[in-house]
Structure 1
Amino acid sequence: MTIYDWLVIGGGITGAALAYELQAQGNKVLLLEPNSNLNNATRYSYGGLPFWATSPETKELCAEGMSIHRQLPEILDCDTEFQEINLLLTIKKNESPEKILKQYQSCEIPPQLLSVAESCELEPLLNPSAIAGAIYFPHGHINPVKTNEAYLKTFTRLGGTMIHESVNSFQFHQETVVGAKTDQNTYRADKTVVCAGGLTRRLLKQSSVTVPVYFTHAELLETPPLDLKLNTLIMPAHDQRLRLEAKATALEQESLWDQPEEDLGSAVIDPGAIQFRDGHLCIGQISRTLTDPNSKVDATASEAWLREEIGTLLPALKDVPAQWHSCLIAFSPNRESTIGKLEEYDGIYVFSGFTSPLLLAPPLARRFARSVS
């Protein structure tokens, strides 16, 4: 049986970036990912790189992330569609622009408050009667699918091994994790790192390990390439999802995460949209804190809600042809990622829970790989 230096569980942007960086350091790496079509949170991401949303503590890390993304097309020999775009954080008609603006004063790049007219000049598809203005930031952007695929292709080109199987448990030798089991096989490795996104918590809990990684169920619409032109990335200035996450991870809720079919808060919607280079759009998003990763929601009602909200903000998008999708989005409390060796057992690490994984996973994966190699 082949014994790998590292076993990486999960092939989204976090696992793909980490597997690549570990392989680039000369390790023998196996990556296990159940989906061959990348049907995950990375797949349905807006592709944003919020380098402006940094504090003095994370300034260096965000700058490192942007530097890596500027180099990735050459490093990975792939067009990741990296560019800088305009981000408009829309302010609802009944909200106070000045009050909302104060929430962004700690950002490293000063926010710019735009009037309704200025907002609609930058984004003509906006409904002027639906907003009280917007906050403007410069914003990085990539195609997340192309970037994820490029990481995986370069990983295998360097000699890494990728197998499409779903991990259901770990292989132990006394108090040390020495690999993982799937329905088909058992794989051995000196060290294992879990990058399973929204499934991280459940996978580790099966071995009586609790980590501060949680998940929301996200629902969105994806269109085919369209002739209309959305000039900016649109997101709400008042992010309901962050409040939902804070409520769901309050101390009194912790025990409920290990119960089946719990709903830890009412669903919220943050209407937004982005158009990619080929003309297709991603329209979102509804967020729910349901403790069962396999919970089912009413797709018809969900799509109707998405269309109603986006139709109010961007009327031209209300009736566009689109496919409804859902996925799990991992997060950690206080918008901090969960990275490092687990205390319960030797040989196992976690690399998950990123608030801005497209921006932060690449530099943190590089730092992680260099620190353990």
Structure 2
Amino acid sequence: MKSYDWIVVGGGITGASLSYELAKKGFAVLLLERDATLQNATRFSYGGLAYWSGTTDLTRQLCGEGIERHRNLSAQLDADTEFRELDLLLTIDAGDDAEKAAANYAHFAIPPQLLSVAEAGDLEPLLDKSNLAGALTVRHGHISPTSTNKAYCQGFLRLGGTIEFAEVIGFIEEGNRISGVKTAQGIYSCENAVVCAGGWSRSLLKLAGISVGVYFSRAEILETAPVDLKLRTFVMPALLKRFELEAESSRIEVDFLWDEPGKELLSPILDPGAIQFNDGSLRIGQLSRTLSDLNAKVDRETSERAIRAGIGKVLPALAGLPATWHDCIVAFSADKLPVVGPIGSRPGLHVFSGLSNPLAIVPAVGERFANWATGEKDWAIELLSPDRFIAEGRRKKEEGRRKKEEGRRKKEEGRRKKEEG
């Protein structure tokens, strides 16, 4: 049985990029992907690169490094990632306070500019101006996620990496250490395994008895074939409901619901937006759900009607276009940051997930991880460590235990006083 330095689980854009970076360092790397034809978050991503959206020293640094890598990635990988920069238009609904919406972005690395309704219409003629209070705009990066994924995989293979299509069903354990990966086709030995399976990362880590603050939403979009209609900008709402959905559904108080079958943690939300790719096709969305079952079924016809109705209020010309409904699982964390690094309680096991927000940082974090794997210290990898959630979970559980004990003590004290009275 061949042994690898690293086994990367998950062949989406995060797994492909990390495999490439590890192979560049000279490691023997196996990339395992379940599906020969990608049907995951990479396949249905908008492909936006929000490099302007850093709000802390960490995120500003990673966004800056990430966009520089994306600007040169096609040349480095010798394949077209379809990188470009275009205007992002963040729409503000009629009735909302445009100045307040702009203030929400004031602390970003590059704050978007507030536009009047007329200015927004000049920038994007397809907008329905009657439903707007204004808009925000900023330059935004964009790639074809599938082309970028393919380019990374080709570069990885040129470096001597191995790709196999197999579904991971467990890990090989030697005491507390992870020393390999089990698939339906066989087992693979390794010094290190890293889970890069996006929204599926949570369930895979559970196979090793690990819970590290990785969650998932079910994203639903409509995709068109290439059309003659031209969307000049990347359109999204200024007040994204998805971030609130993620924050509320990842609170420690509701964490247990993720491990119970058939749960919907919150009502679905819709963030109407659209992007047109270089080939003229459009992706229109996005409806998001927090369902505890990875394979949960939804009413696609109802979802499609909701997406069409939502985009019809913003970009009415898109609402009636022939389109195909798709859904996928999208990873997120409990604090909006990626979950990257070793899992301290299980030597040999690592995670590299939750990088969809923003996608811009994937190349930078992958490079940093690979440098760290060679023995270099890296302050960013330390800050993104999955162990931050384990420590926080223990703290909150202990706090809950103390409060429960305090409540029991007070109840007992009250009972005694009542008896004495």
Where on the TM-score scale, by shorter chain, does this alignment land: which range?
A: over 0.9
Aligned residue in 2 for 1:133: 134
Contact 1:13 1:358 in 2 (8 A): no
Aligned residue in 1 for 2:327: 326
Worse-superposed segment, 250-259 or 84-93: 250-259
Inter-partner Cα distance in structure 2 for 1:303 and 1:115 = 31
The superposition leaves residues 152-190 of structure 1 with CA deviations (integer Å, 9 ceiling, x where unpaired) of 111011110000111011011121111111111111111
Q: Aligned to 1:121, what secondary structure does the other structure show?
A: helix
Quick check: 1:9 aligned with 2:5?
no
Unaligned runs of 5+ in 1: none
Contact 2:90 2:238 in 1 (8 A): yes
Quick check: 1:79 aligned with 2:85?
no
TM-score (normalizing by structure 1): 0.98
2:261 alignment partner AA: P
Q: CA RMSD in A?
A: 0.9
Inter-partner Cα distance in structure 1 for 2:315 and 2:263 = 34
Aligned residue in 2 for 1:37: 37
Aligned residue in 2 for 1:283: 284
Inter-partner Cα distance in structure 1 for 2:183 and 2:176 = 20
Q: Aligned to 1:266, what secondary structure does the other structure show?
A: strand
Residue 304 of structure 1: CA displacement? 0.7
Contact 2:88 2:138 in 1 (8 A): yes
Aligned residue in 1 for 2:253: 252
Inter-partner Cα distance in structure 2 for 1:343 and 1:337 = 17
Q: Aligned to 1:359, what secondary structure does the other structure show?
A: helix
Inter-partner Cα distance in structure 1 for 2:48 and 2:326 = 19
2:33 alignment partner AA: E
The superposition leaves residues 302-361 of structure 1 with CA deviations (integer Å, 9 ceiling, x where unpaired) of 011111111111111011111100000000122111111112211110111124252111
1:67 alignment partner AA: E
- Structure 1 consecutive aligned stretches of length 4 or more whose deviation exceeds 6 Å: none
Aligned residue in 2 for 1:304: 305
Inter-partner Cα distance in structure 2 for 1:289 and 1:139 = 28
Inter-partner Cα distance in structure 2 for 1:118 and 1:31 = 47
The superposition leaves residues 227-278 of structure 1 with CA deviations (integer Å, 9 ceiling, x where unpaired) of 0000000000010000111110112101111111111000000000000111
Residue 56 of structure 1: CA displacement? 4.2
- Residues 1-373 of structure 1: pairs in structure 2 closer than 5 A: 1-57=1-57, 58-373=59-374
Q: Aligned to 1:265, what secondary structure does the other structure show?
A: strand
Cα gap change, 1:32/1:168 in structure 2, threshold over 3 Å: closer, same or farther? same
Contact 2:50 2:359 in 1 (8 A): no
Q: Aligned to 1:287, what secondary structure does the other structure show?
A: strand
Q: Aligned to 1:257, what secondary structure does the other structure show?
A: helix
Contact 1:335 1:355 in 2 (8 A): no
TM-score (normalizing by structure 2): 0.87
Residue 99 of structure 1: CA displacement? 1.1
Inter-partner Cα distance in structure 1 for 2:165 and 2:17 = 17
In proportion to residue count, which structure has more helix?
Answer: 2
Identity of aligned residues (%): 50
Report how many residues are paired: 373
Inter-partner Cα distance in structure 2 for 1:135 and 1:270 = 16
Q: Aligned to 2:266, what secondary structure does the other structure show?
A: coil
Q: Aligned to 1:187, what secondary structure does the other structure show?
A: strand
Inter-partner Cα distance in structure 2 for 1:236 and 1:174 = 49
Q: Aligned to 1:201, what secondary structure does the other structure show?
A: helix
1:84 alignment partner AA: E
Inter-partner Cα distance in structure 2 for 1:59 and 1:338 = 17
Residue 207 of structure 1: CA displacement? 2.1
Residue 89 of structure 1: CA displacement? 0.4
Q: Larger Cα Rg: Structure 1 or Structure 2?
A: 2
Q: Aligned to 1:295, what secondary structure does the other structure show?
A: coil
Contact 2:217 2:291 in 1 (8 A): yes
Q: Aligned to 2:291, what secondary structure does the other structure show?
A: coil
2:347 alignment partner AA: D
Inter-partner Cα distance in structure 2 for 1:357 and 1:6 = 25
Inter-partner Cα distance in structure 2 for 1:182 and 1:146 = 27
The superposition leaves residues 195-243 of structure 1 with CA deviations (integer Å, 9 ceiling, x where unpaired) of 0110111111122111110000000001000000000000000100001
Inter-partner Cα distance in structure 1 for 2:44 and 2:21 = 24
